[in-house]
Amino acid sequence: MARRVVLPTRACIAVPALLCVAASLALGLGAPLSLVMPLVLGALGLLLALAALDLWRSRRLWAQGGLRVERRLPAAFAIGATTELRLALVNPGRLGWQLQVFDELDPVFDFTGLPWRLRVGPQTRSTVSFHVTARQRGVVQLGVTQLLWRSRAGLFEVRERLGEARSLRVYPNFAALARYAWLSGDRRLAQIGIKDFVQRGQGTDFRQLAEYRRGDPLRHLDVKASLRQRRPVVREYQDERDQCVMFLLDCGRRMRADEQSADIGENSHFDDALDALMLLAYVALTEGDEVGAMTFGGDEGARRDFAPRKGMATLNALMNKMHDLQPGGQHSDYLAAAEALSRRLRRRSLVIILTNFRDEDSPELQPALRLLRKRHLVLLASLRETALGRLANQPVASADDAVTVASAHLLSQARHDAFARVVDHDKLSIDVEPRALAATLVNRYHQVKRAGWL
């Protein structure tokens, strides 16, 4: 695309058109052609000369003191999160300019506030803001900024492309992480469906000494500390640390389910699974555990393997590793994934399989679960379509509605029974709707920590 495009304005087109209409009327009223033609050609020539002079002068003045664009971009975007972008238009010259502003955005963005129409005064700095919302994760391109400025006489508009293109990343929506951290500090995690898990005196890792309170187990009484302090002192314990949480994320065709078109959720099933993975990774890291992840079922070249590690820096590394994942069209081989994980992960860990279960997957999924359970504690987390629950809960107003509701209940029960069979009635595994996945996973993780199953 050319960096500069010249377009005539409506005024530039309207004047010659009016001149031609006037000439036609004159000829229709009987004016001689020998008189009308020289007048029309002379007027058109004068207009062309004025237009050429206006364009030449305007481009010269623009080159001497044209605008400069300064764009402020965030370090990254989050899918589904609205972000404000700002453009600063700096005019160092002595002339003001009438213009329109448009930013070249990647097609994955929805935007509001563009194009902007404004007049930038001489030797001023004007700020233009607009909002964008990313609909897909991965690497996105933000092109240059387009300015459509008007010539001094208003006969032409010149489209100028300024600035440089940039590549930025769109991450999973980490707003849930911030909300979890805020609510956990205020002890209000129940607002997002996470149960209160803090129990004084539980666990086996020593945490600290504390003054005895009614209800504390007497077996935790520290005799020596009590004698020194001259008051009852007990030992407080916390859940075991230095354990490992390993995610096995399905990137196959089962995870391509997307109910956005039905206005049921903002994210696809795969995006909800990735959000839940990041939230539980954050929770486990704050508990002092290691977190790792493997993918299976997607394109061979797009598979990811993230070795377990500790520390909050792990969350950023994991997000950078997984942010651009997309489910493919291949069938997911559960047994091959279980064998690969068993070879590389020798330490007993909490293995969380994120998938979308179907009854026909049982012949492959059951042997995979048996293999992993020989060494690890396995949690199978399956995503259930939200539309099924909506159909089952809709009001019955006719015979057709009754058939629909009954069919939905029958299908839900069949899925529940099949899931119970494939996990061997394991109460740790879950089959939930996407919106409930994150909170349910965190609750299961806390349950494992409290029970000491690892």
CATH code, domain carrying 423 = 3.40.50.410
- 15 lies in the same domain as 156: yes
Cα–Cα dist 207/209, whole Å: 7
Residues 6 or more apart from 356 whose CB is under 8 A from it?
250, 254, 255, 257, 269, 382, 383
Cα–Cα dist 278/217, whole Å: 36
What's 116-185 look like in SS3? EEEEECCCEEEEEEEEEEECCCEEEEECCEEEEEECCCCCEEEEEEECCCEEEEEECCCHHHHHHHHHHH
**In degrees, to the nearest 5, what angle opens at C-alpha 275 toward C-alphas 274 and 280?**
100
- 281 lies in the same domain as 396: yes
Cα–Cα dist 30/24, whole Å: 10
- The answer to whether the CB of 145 falls within 8 A of the CB of 104 is yes
Range of the domain at 260: 175-183+185-197+240-451
- The answer to whether the CB of 89 falls within 8 A of the CB of 103 is no
- pLDDT at residue 189 in the model: 55
CATH code, domain carrying 85 = 2.60.40.10
Assign 3-state DSSP to the chain and report helix, strand, coil percentages, each to 5. 40, 25, 30
Per-residue pLDDT of the chain (454 residues; tens, 9 = 90+): 446 788 888 888 888 888 888 888 888 887 887 787 888 888 888 888 998 998 899 889 888 877 888 888 888 888 888 899 999 989 888 888 888 999 889 998 999 988 889 898 888 899 989 999 988 888 899 989 999 999 888 889 899 888 888 899 988 876 666 555 544 544 455 555 555 544 444 555 556 777 878 777 777 788 888 888 888 888 776 555 678 999 999 998 888 877 754 444 456 788 889 988 988 998 899 888 999 999 998 777 778 899 999 998 999 899 889 888 888 888 889 999 999 999 999 999 999 999 998 888 888 899 999 999 999 999 999 998 888 878 888 888 888 888 888 888 888 888 888 888 999 888 899 999 888 888 899 889 988 888 888 7
Cα–Cα dist 140/143, whole Å: 10
> Among 155, 157, 167, which residue's Cα sits nearest to residue 77?
167
- 212 lies in the same domain as 158: no
- 335 lies in the same domain as 426: yes
- 244 lies in the same domain as 368: yes
Cα–Cα dist 47/41, whole Å: 10
Kindly list the distances between the CA atom of residue 373 and the CA atoms of 292, 376, 382, 448, 449, in Å, as whole numbers in the listed order. Answer: 18, 5, 17, 15, 18
- 65 lies in the same domain as 214: no
- 346 lies in the same domain as 330: yes
- 389 lies in the same domain as 306: yes
- pLDDT at residue 175 in the model: 62
How many folded domains does the chain comprise?
Answer: 3
- 263 lies in the same domain as 397: yes
- pLDDT at residue 188 in the model: 52
Instruction: Give the SS3 label for residue 199.
Output: coil
Instruction: Give the SS3 label for residue 453.
Output: coil
Residues 6 or more apart from 165 whose CB is under 8 A from it?
104, 141, 142, 143, 144
Q: What is the DSSP string of 355-418?
A: E---GGGHHHHHHHHHHHHTTSEEEEEEE--HHHHHHHHS---SHHHHHHHHHHHHHHHHHHHH
350-355: strand order across its sheet: 305-309, 290-296, 244-250, 350-355, 377-383, 430-432
- 256 lies in the same domain as 392: yes
- 385 lies in the same domain as 256: yes
- 232 lies in the same domain as 287: no
Q: The tokens of 200 are what? A: 């004084």
